[in-house]
Amino acid sequence: MDTQKLKALKEAILSAINDPDLDVDVCFDQEDSCSVKPYPYVKVRYITDEHNVHEKEIDIDPEYHNKDIKDIVNFVVFQIQQFMEEIDSVEYGGE
């Protein structure tokens, strides 16, 4: 995935995730505050009211690199929604 597309993807993901309770990093180069991997990924962190920390890394595998930015953003948003549902289930019994 070229650098221009990655930068546009980063902006699109960050604007789509507007939850102040989530810490979201889009990682694709050494300038980001993430460990370097051979492919881009999104690191999501959520701290519950009880101060439990939950983290998830959402890989953007090469099979997604040729897809439209909107499709990739939808994939990432869906993965984050699943992550939040998992936390609700574990922390709050699915309330």
What is the secondary structure of 1-52 as a DSSP string?
--HHHHHHHHHHHHHH---TTEEEEEE-STTSSS---SS-EEEEEEE-TT--
Which one has a higher pLDDT value, 95 or 82? 82
| Number of domains within the chain | 1
Owning domain of residue 29: 3-92
Q: Which two tokens stand for residue 57?
A: 């890394």
pLDDT of 48 = 84
| CATH classification at residue 55 | 3.30.160
| pLDDT, tens digit, 9 for 90 and up, residues 16-46 | 998 888 999 989 876 656 787 888 999 999 9
CA atoms within 13 A on the CB side of 90: 11
**pTM of the full structure:** 0.86
pLDDT tens profile 53-73? 999 999 999 999 899 999 999
